[in-house]
Structure 1
Amino acid sequence: MNHESTLSPADLALVQLGRRLQADGYRFITPTPLTHQRVNDRTFGQSARNLREVFGWSRAFQPGLLSPDEERQLQQAGVLEESNGHLKSLVRWSSLDDLLFVHSGFPTEAADSVFFGPDTYRFAQLIHNHLQQSFTQVRRAVDIGCGAGVGAIVIARARHEAQVLAVDINPAALRMTAVNAALAEVNNVRVEASDVLRDVDGSFDLIVANPPYMADPAGRAYRHGGGALGAQLSVRIVEQALKRLTPGGSLVLYTGVAMVDGCDPFLDALAPYLDSLRFGWTYREIDPDVFGEELLTPGYQRVERIAVVALIVTRMGADTGGIHQSVAGE
């Protein structure tokens, strides 16, 4: 579908701004929130001096720094804030390969913030690697909890014949995904509201998800995974996704796990779903230690580390071979 034909004037203004930034050679690699804060603390009180500081580092800027067109597009999109004589963009723009993605400005304190960061880059690479290694035709795919739409757009660009759904419960995420799909010029992505897969029908050849995996007292959509240690949503995605895979279809899940006393509670919780001759699966740690600052928050007293993991589950079909189950390191 042609996303631009369905966008509101405000969202079209964001697409036009993204194109202008691309034409200007804008690039920004988004770090973790802690790194972002530490870098911004070095220049506390200073106004942004260039586009990267405005749209990457989310710093306030003085009127006149941006071109009249850029400032007008921010105003039309409803994402320009004014305070004490300074202006600030309420959105950031991040680079991924040759693409540009719009998402929430820093700090991401609002409950409906749309996140983009190091997890996003690893998630995109995980999907890319899977598509390179899989010979299964992807006719229908879905990105659960699409956020800024990275998973859906990566699939859509790699598999032009696929119909790709991008679903989320967060209206702000659906808006950002539609803008980013238009900017990426992919016409095979459809954006829909859905609580995991509850509100969409049919089966899928590829299901991808990068759900939140923290226990967030503020309950922010991009961060709070539910349960004592943030794994509840990830388990729920596995439960629903496995029922909706076509023969030969795969679930590619990127998530985080709070490791307790040397054990992996998420992998333990998956046992009832993966202990079946219908599925082959692999599970590995991508990074053994991320977001270490979270160990200081309430509820994480027994957590030794937070690891990010990749779970790939394939439903067995006539041409998928034998059962393969493996856990990296075992």
Structure 2
Amino acid sequence: MTSPHANALLAVGRYLRAHDYRFITVTPSTHRRINRRPGNERAADLRGIFGWSRPFAPADIDAELLGLMREAGIVEQDGALLRSTLRASTLGEMLVFHSAYPTEEDDAVFFGPDTYRFVGTMERAFPWLAAGPTRAVDIGCGGGAGALAIARAFPHAEVIGADINTRALALTVVNTRLAGLDNLQACRSDLFDGLEGDFDLVVSNPPYVLDPSELAYRHGGDMRGAELSVRIVKESLGRLRRGGHLMLYTGVAIAGPVDDFLEAVRPDLETQCDHWSYEELDPDIFGGQLGEPGYEEVERIAAVWLHAIKR
């Protein structure tokens, strides 16, 4: 995203905030169901345009706002109507731009209920950090939700939002400016490969499903989608300072009484950490995914939270 486009998108965000815009993003299945209700074929307000990703006519929107959207490059033709290519979601007191529904592109920037669970659980764990980190990183930051929450809670900290997706990083920059934060920077990195030094805090909400198309924002690799999460645990422990914290929110495919993800990372946690805890936040998410290839033996997908403190 070039600077003029970024400045225009920032102006769009400020316009939305000035008009008391708020939207909580739901699951794709709920989004699809709500949009199919009679009367929801077209956007009737700002939430319809920027939240529900519904098409709209130029006459349906303030001319100033439409001009800013065109300048930002976030308007596309949808038959005889127009459609925003971005959504804006409420995260606490912040507004976060991310990809429009449906998220089908390889470089889509995802935001949804998982994001809320991730950030909410992380914020409840902040008391463990006492005065807070000096240097923190959100691995696979997407639009920057986790990094934004850290930067807002600990204004003295140097916070990095790291992602391999340059589109995500561009949105992280805009979302950071929109939140009025000056202690967060975006960095292109494949996990830790593009990062230097070590950290007091590493957080991550990585992709964790098996995706036949291997879309980067969804596909977690082998181990029924857990491979990427295992890599993040192992590499994070190698880059954490003594007493540093790892906070990971992910999904785990459970195929019986054994949690394969937990067993894969347990040896590293036990040998490298003074304290670690692991819990299921939700025992059954994305049930529709169980009908996809690779999940034939899977009983459920659990949302899990890992918090580890480096020895």
Verify same fold: TM over 0.5.
yes
2:16 alignment partner, one of 12, 21, 26: 21
2:140–2:163 Cα contact (<8 Å) kept: yes
Q: Does 1:226 align with 2:214?
A: no
Aligned structure 1 segments of 4 or more residues deviating by more than 2 angstroms: 43-46
Alignment of 1:59-78 (within 5 A): 59-78=54-73
The separation in 1 between residues aligned to 2:10 and 2:175, in whole angstroms, is: 7
Q: Does 1:261 align with 2:256?
A: yes
C-alpha deviations, 1:124-180, integer Å up to 9, x for none?
112211212332641000000000101111000111110001100001110111110
Letter of the structure 1 residue corresponding to residue 216 of structure 2 = A
1:262–1:304 Cα contact (<8 Å) kept: no
2:34–2:40 Cα contact (<8 Å) kept: no
Deviation at 1:275, TM superposition (A): 2.5
The separation in 2 between residues aligned to 1:45 and 1:51, in whole angstroms, is: 13
2:272–2:310 Cα contact (<8 Å) kept: no
Please give the secondary structure, in 2, of the residue aligned with 1:166: strand
The separation in 1 between residues aligned to 2:266 and 2:32, in whole angstroms, is: 39
Match of 1:327?
none
Please give the secondary structure, in 2, of the residue aligned with 1:240: helix
Please give the secondary structure, in 1, of the residue aligned with 2:173: helix
Match of 1:148?
143
The separation in 2 between residues aligned to 1:101 and 1:171, in whole angstroms, is: 16
Please give the secondary structure, in 2, of the residue aligned with 1:255: strand
Q: Does 1:174 align with 2:169?
A: yes
The separation in 1 between residues aligned to 2:105 and 2:60, in whole angstroms, is: 27
Corresponding residue pairs, total: 311
C-alpha deviations, 1:266-301, integer Å up to 9, x for none?
101112311215442100001111000001111111
C-alpha deviations, 1:29-68, integer Å up to 9, x for none?
0001111111111147722111111110000011111111
The separation in 1 between residues aligned to 2:7 and 2:162, in whole angstroms, is: 21
The separation in 2 between residues aligned to 1:74 and 1:277, in whole angstroms, is: 49
Match of 1:319?
none
Alignment of 1:33-44 (within 5 A): 33-43=28-38
Match of 1:86?
81
CA-atom RMSD, angstroms? 1.4
2:237–2:272 Cα contact (<8 Å) kept: no
C-alpha deviations, 1:197-253, integer Å up to 9, x for none?
111111100000000000111111111111141111100001110011111110000
The separation in 2 between residues aligned to 1:33 and 1:95, in whole angstroms, is: 17
Q: Does 1:272 align with 2:267?
A: yes
The separation in 2 between residues aligned to 1:20 and 1:49, in whole angstroms, is: 17
Match of 2:52?
57
Match of 2:104?
109
C-alpha deviations, 1:90-132, integer Å up to 9, x for none?
0001001111100000000111100000010111112211212
2:286 alignment partner, one of 280, 286, 291: 291
TM-score, normalised on structure 2? 0.97
The separation in 2 between residues aligned to 1:169 and 1:277, in whole angstroms, is: 27
The separation in 2 between residues aligned to 1:139 and 1:209, in whole angstroms, is: 17
1:306 alignment partner, one of 286, 301, 305: 301
TM-score, normalised on structure 1? 0.91
- Gapped regions of structure 2 (runs ≥ 5): none
Deviation at 1:182, TM superposition (A): 0.5
Q: Does 1:122 align with 2:114?
A: no
